[in-house]
Amino acid sequence: MVGTLGYVGNHGSNLAVQQNAINAYCKTCPFGTLPTSAPDPRFGRIRELTNQGISNYSGLTATFTRRLTKGLQGSLNYTWSHALDDISNAGFDQYSFNTSGEAFLYQIDPKNLRRYNYGNADYDFRHNLSASYIYEMPSMFKGNRLVSSLLGGWATSGVFYKRSGQPYSVVDTGKVNSSVGNDSAGVFMPYFLGGSMPSCSVNVRCLNAAQFNETGQNTFGNIARNQFHGPGYFDFDMTIKKNFRITESGLTFSMGANAYNVLNHPRFANPDNNLADAGSTFGQVQSTVTPASSPYGNFQGSAVSGRVLQLELEVKF
């Protein structure tokens, strides 16, 4: 048995950032530090690509591994980490498409990159716990062929995965367009008034509209992006099979089953984070998420969030 403890930290600089409102101005003034008219009236919206972005990551990882002994082997892994950046994936491809505030592709405040953009990365999952195991029963039991035929040759394996929730921001779509010109892809984040967020569940809202206010707001927000985290993720996949030896030369026939999300545990997506939906679905979980890997392959549209059973027949020679 082996245990390891490690730390990984890195800093990224000169990362690509897309600025979508370099020619922005305020329609309803004052609004932040924006001018009252377009800096260059000859143009409308101007997009600029720079390399001013930065990122930081810290991760502490603990691993426990049991090598194959008496038919059993497995590993247990835990990682605490914190990832921060200005824009994840340089804004070219967002991590998630579930809600409008899970990924910002552009600089929020045209005059200040760090003020609102520098925050938790789109894939800042603080706690990750995973485990895997394989257990193979002996193919022969000494002195008893009947017991060997019934109990011998069985094998089971499984993968367990649990992580904390995905970060997101609360937004109000369209609000910025009534206050800011030449910024069609802009984001307006209402003021967060403070207080704790309730735990997400099927019947409990993850967000409380009373804790946000946009009345008289003349800035893009008062907190950085991705300061809220949604429901956690849990998955347990399992395989069980029986091996039948056909010949002494090694010809083996196997039959078994694979179960993905064997406990049929729902994996909830982030809640509706658009304050414009206050009074209806704001703060409520609207959908589930599918696993990245499934019996259909990685990132396939046919993947489902519920339990999937797969029968398996195999000949080894």
pLDDT at position 236, please?
93
**Beta carbons within 8 Å of 143's beta carbon, 6+ residues apart:** none
- Enumerate the β-bridge partners of residue 212: 192
pLDDT at 194 over 60: yes
d(CA 38, CA 27): 10
pLDDT at position 93, please?
76
**Model pLDDT for residues 140-184, shown as the tens digit of each residue:** 555 566 666 677 778 999 999 999 989 999 988 767 777 888 886
Look at phi and psi of residue 197 and say left if phi exceeds 0, alpha if psi is from -120 to 50, else beta: beta
pLDDT at position 196, please?
76
Q: How confident is the model at residue 288 (pLDDT cuts 50, 70, 90)?
A: confident
Share of the chain above pLDDT 70, in %: 88
User: In Å, how far are 119, 120, 122, 218, 288 from 31, measured between CA atoms?
Assistant: 22, 25, 27, 4, 37
pLDDT at position 122, please?
92
Q: What is the pTM of this model?
A: 0.83
d(CA 189, CA 178): 14
- CA R_g for the chain: 26
Residue 291 corresponds to which amino acid? Answer: P
pLDDT at position 124, please?
94
**Domain residues for 25?**
2-316
| Total number of domains in the chain | 1
The H-assigned helical ranges of 104-188 are: 113-117, 145-151, 175-179
Share of the chain above pLDDT 90, in %: 37
**Model pLDDT for residues 240-259, shown as the tens digit of each residue:** 998 887 777 778 888 999 99
**Model pLDDT for residues 82-136, shown as the tens digit of each residue:** 999 999 988 887 777 666 667 888 888 888 999 999 999 999 999 999 999 999 8
